[in-house]
Amino acid sequence: MTAKRSVPVEVGDGRPVGVSTVTAAHDGRIGLRANLRHIGALARRNLMRIKQDPESMFDVLLMPVIFTLLFVYVFGGAVAGNQHAYVNYVIPGLMAMMGMNIAMAVGSGINDDFKTGVMDRFRTMPIARSSVLIAKIVVEIGRMLVATTLLLVMGFVLGLTIETSVLHLLAAVGLGLVFGASLMWIFILLGLTVKTAQAVQGLGMLVLMPLQFGSSIFAKPTTMPGWLQAFTKVNPLSALADANRSLVNGGPVAHSALLTLAWAAGITLVTAPLAVAKFRDRT
pLDDT exceeds 90 at position 49: no
Question: Which of 47, 37, 244 has its CA nearest to residue 152?
Answer: 244
pLDDT exceeds 50 at position 266: yes
Rounded to whole angstroms, how far apart are CA atoms 150 and 210? 25
Taking CA atoms, 108 is separated from 113, 130, 182, 200, 207, in Å, by: 9, 18, 16, 6, 15
pLDDT tens-digit map of 190-203: 988 988 888 888 88
Q: Give the pLDDT mean for 211-217.
A: 90
Q: Give the pLDDT mean for 38-62.
A: 82
Rounded to whole angstroms, how far apart are CA atoms 52 and 38? 21
Q: Is the dihedral of CA 192, 193, 197, 201 positive or negative?
A: negative
Rounded to whole angstroms, how far apart are CA atoms 217 and 207? 15
pLDDT exceeds 60 at position 13: no
Question: Which of 164, 114, 157, 110 has its CA nearest to residue 133?
Answer: 110
Rounded to whole angstroms, how far apart are CA atoms 91 and 158? 10
Taking CA atoms, 127 is separated from 28, 110, 189, 231, 270, in Å, by: 10, 17, 20, 42, 23
From the CA atom positions of the chain, what is the Rg in Å? 21
| Structural contact between residues 214 and 231, judged by C-beta atoms closer than 8 angstroms | yes
Rounded to whole angstroms, how far apart are CA atoms 87 and 72? 6
Cα 236 off chain centre by: 14
Rounded to whole angstroms, how far apart are CA atoms 122 and 201? 25
Average confidence score pLDDT of the chain: 83
Q: What is the pLDDT of residue 203?
A: 87
CB atoms within 10 A of CB 2: 9
Q: Which amino acid is at 114?
A: F
Instruction: Write down the domain spans for the chain.
Output: 56-282
